[in-house]
Amino acid sequence: MVNEKLAILGGPKAIKTEFKKYNSIGTEELEAAKKVIEDGSLSKFVGCWEPEFYGGNKVQEFERLCEKTFNVKYAISVNSWTSGLIAAVGAIGIQPGDEIIVTPWTMCATATAILHWNAIPVFADIESETFNIDPESVRKNISPYTKAIMAVDIFGHSCDIDSLMEIAEEFNLKIIGDTAQAPGTFNKNRVTGSIAHVGGYSLNRHKHIQTGEGGICVTNDKQISENLQLIRNHAEAVVGDKGHSDLTNMVGYNFRMGEIEAAIGIEQIKKMNKFVQSRIDTAEKLTNQLSGIPGLKLPIVKPKCTHSYYMYPMIIDTEIIKVPRKKIQDALEAEGMQGLDPGYINVHRLPMYQEKIAYGSSGFPWNSEICKREISYKKGICPVAEELHDKSYLGFNNCDYDITDNEINSIGFAYKKVFSQLELL
Ligand SMILES: *Cc1c(COP(=O)(O)O)cnc(C)c1O
């Protein structure tokens, strides 16, 4: 298709510019933060049983806005989504040794939230189309000890929430949703993240909308929302005064969001759809440029779903292309391509799981009596995720950059150049 000499072999670079960093923060956020600072109350939370137990004005305004935006009864802000995940696992009443089925294709915080309550992560494989947890593999991993499924809407595409809810009903499990990468997306007209028993969104600086650090838990269950609020705010210090009698998982934390972050969050939520649309626009233009390249699989969107393209996921079809991924990546980067991510993450292959050491150094919780059966994290338990990780996945960090139309054209040219001369690599 394109015969220009490859940059990696000394030819000219296809992409000559440095991609501009994505930045969702503007003057509205500056003004909002300034007002809070002028007001002088950077947080109004108290850890005792007073009206401010639920936080300051901005925190509460932000939460009510999130409830509308994500179409849920309760939104509970937290100081990171990692905190939110920990609170969510605690809030559904998990007991030590309970098993939670989780996807390996996610950020490690999803799985470590399980370990924080001395529960046991069990990894199910993923679908190669959307990279989300595969309901069939979930079924195979259910044991008498399974209590919940942790489903991530990875890269911006909803997981198969209907199949997972069916499984949850059949086996009396709870679903925890991690929608960190898919705010503002839909699955059959339902807001992604609003269907799980408890779920939420990240507001860290890498995400579509951000408050620097921050997160939002969402649920339609009153009891879960109350548990989240307690765990967020030193639960055990307040349960007595509040008249709360159930002490399950009431080891409290300080997961509270500050007023500055909440004020910024309000402005970010207002702009969310615009930012998500900007990611979609870039992705669609990339698809235009890259479609038709033999051996390069582009992202799909399932019927009646939308995608927020936190990542623009691509797969090298190893049936057609025999050149190792690393060589293709090197050639693309020599052409000036930026933001490539080979392999994403296989959480089960992190050292903690391979060595089975989480707390202390003697193998807790796996070697203790709370762990009721042998759990394997060995290579081979998630063949689809492992093959993508080891060989074929090569994504673009679409939420890291604001690329121009000219750059998108140059990316198209770079890919065509490299993929039509693979035999030279
Ligand atoms: C970003 C992210 C998290 C963690 O969120 P923080 O706000 O950084 O703690 C968890 N899960 C997924 C899938 C993420 O992308």
How many Å apart are CA 372 and CA 99, to the nearest integer?
9
Q: Final residue of a domain: which of 247, 269, 291?
A: 269
In angstroms, what is the span from residue 370 Cα to ligand 1's centroid?
Answer: 28
153: domain CATH number is 3.40.640.10
> Which residues sit with their C-beta closer than 6 Å to ligand 1?
80-82, 106-107, 109-110, 152, 178, 180-181, 202, 204, 215
What confidence score (pLDDT) does residue 197 get? 98
Residue 229 pLDDT > 90, yes or no? yes
410: domain CATH number is 3.90.1150.10
- Preceding peptide of 365 cis, ω within 30°: yes
Report the alpha-carbon angle 211-215-221, nearest 5. 145
Mutating to test ligand 1, I would choose from 112, 204, 211, 341 the residue with most ligand atoms within 8 A of its C-beta, which is 204
Residues 223, 311 within the same domain: no
Number of domains in the chain: 2
Asked, for residue 18, whether it belongs to a domain, the answer is yes
What confidence score (pLDDT) does residue 237 get? 82
How many Å apart are CA 286 and CA 366, to the nearest integer?
45
In angstroms, what is the span from residue 214 Cα to ligand 1's centroid?
Answer: 10
What confidence score (pLDDT) does residue 411 get? 98
- Residue 3 pLDDT class (50, 70, 90 cuts): confident
Looking at per-residue pLDDT, the higher value among 1 and 165 belongs to: 165
What confidence score (pLDDT) does residue 306 get? 98
Residues 185, 306 within the same domain: no
Residue 357 pLDDT > 80, yes or no? yes
In angstroms, what is the span from residue 201 Cα to ligand 1's centroid?
Answer: 8
Asked, for residue 32, whether it belongs to a domain, the answer is yes
pLDDT, mean of residues 54-80: 98
Of 186-200, 236-250, 388-402, the one with minimum mean pLDDT is 236-250
Residue 387 pLDDT > 90, yes or no? yes
The Cα diameter of the chain in Å comes to 75
Q: What is the pLDDT of residues 70-89, one digit of tens each?
A: 999 999 999 999 999 999 99
What confidence score (pLDDT) does residue 1 get? 65
Residue 253 structural domain = 27-269
Residues 334, 208 within the same domain: no
pTM for the complete prediction?
Answer: 0.97
pLDDT, mean of residues 184-208: 98
- Decide if 313 contacts 70 (C-beta within 8 A): no
Residues 17, 155 within the same domain: no
Tokens of 344: 């994403």
Residue 236 pLDDT > 90, yes or no? no
Asked, for residue 369, whether it belongs to a domain, the answer is no
Asked, for residue 372, whether it belongs to a domain, the answer is no
Q: State which ligand 1 atom lies nearest to the alpha carbon of 203.
A: 7
Residues 110, 166 within the same domain: yes
- Decide if 310 contacts 208 (C-beta within 8 A): yes
Residue 230 pLDDT > 70, yes or no? yes
Residues 229, 282 within the same domain: no
How many Å apart are CA 81 and CA 210, to the nearest integer?
11
What confidence score (pLDDT) does residue 161 get? 98
Residue 258 pLDDT > 90, yes or no? yes
In angstroms, what is the span from residue 109 Cα to ligand 1's centroid?
Answer: 7
In angstroms, what is the span from residue 392 Cα to ligand 1's centroid?
Answer: 24
Residues sharing a CB contact under 8 Å with residue 180, sequence separation 6 or more, in sequence order: 81, 107, 152, 200, 201, 202, 207, 215
Q: What is the pLDDT of residues 320-356, one digit of tens each?
A: 999 999 999 999 999 999 999 999 999 999 999 999 9
Please state the separation of Cα 12 from the chain's center in Å. Answer: 37
Amino acid at position 380, single letter: G
Q: State which ligand 1 atom lies nearest to the alpha carbon of 207.
A: 1
